[in-house]
Structure 1
Amino acid sequence: MADAPPVVIPESEVEVTAVRAQGAGGQNVNKVSSAIHLRFDIRKSSLPPDHKERLLALSDRRITRDGVLVIKAQSHRTQELNRAEAWGRLHELVGSVARPPRQRRPTKPTAASRRRRLEEKSLRSQVKLLRQPVSG
């Protein structure tokens, strides 16, 4: 099966803001806005409808009730690296829903597995019978 072409996300649909990073990091982290907040409104985007549907159906805590995907990147010291990481995570998430999930075809257990199951049941039954108190 051929892979679908990668989905292009226009920069105009993404709101990128620089914020101060959280956590330890010394004086630099308190002064420089090196962390990146990336906001992507899924419902208003130009993504295909099926992509939007699958994205909104994800149980991802980064997606708000309003359908806005919020990604915060702050692991790097520079704003440029954090920006690249945030965009990478956005593309990764959108790419993960680009392909529809495979339909599950229900199957039946094989004859051998049914036979093994019944044999295990009878073995278990014998073990339990031997555990009963002896009468007579």
Structure 2
Amino acid sequence: MMSIFSRLFAPKAALSRLEVLIVHCVQAQLNPEMATRWAGQILCITGIERLPGRRTMRLHQTSRGKPVVDNGLALPLAGHDVTLAEVTVSVAGGFTPLRAVLHCQNGLLSAIEYHDDSTWMDEVASRRGAHDLTLQCILMPDAALVVG
């Protein structure tokens, strides 16, 4: 049985190895100020909701069960829901690349949407390591003007 303290002070959510590679790939495309904000956002993630099939994951920043919005970490993106970037993850051997689209709400990373089941690529990233993967990031044109 879980104690009340373990529920109140649950450990922070952890990104998988693949997800870490993806968010770092995006961070490398941002200008230095925006990259610092991005890194701060990633550190503040307290909840991860992976939908069945691992095609979509939603990221949350909460404190005591309530959403937290740190405007100091928000990217200056126009619009409530903005597509920030698309990352293509490839592995040698003729496998189909995995595409990940990163979404922001009010300038904060809110979701990663995969165009296929990400389970197999996550296993490759965990077993073989990052040196076997190739990641390419493209910032969306509107976002690139502001944060790139």
Compute the TM-score of the two structures, normalised by the length of structure 2: 0.29
Structure that is richer in helix per residue: 1
| Structure of larger gyration radius | 1
Structure that is richer in strand per residue: 2
Of structures 1 and 2, the one scoring higher in RCO (CA 8 A, sep 6+) is 2
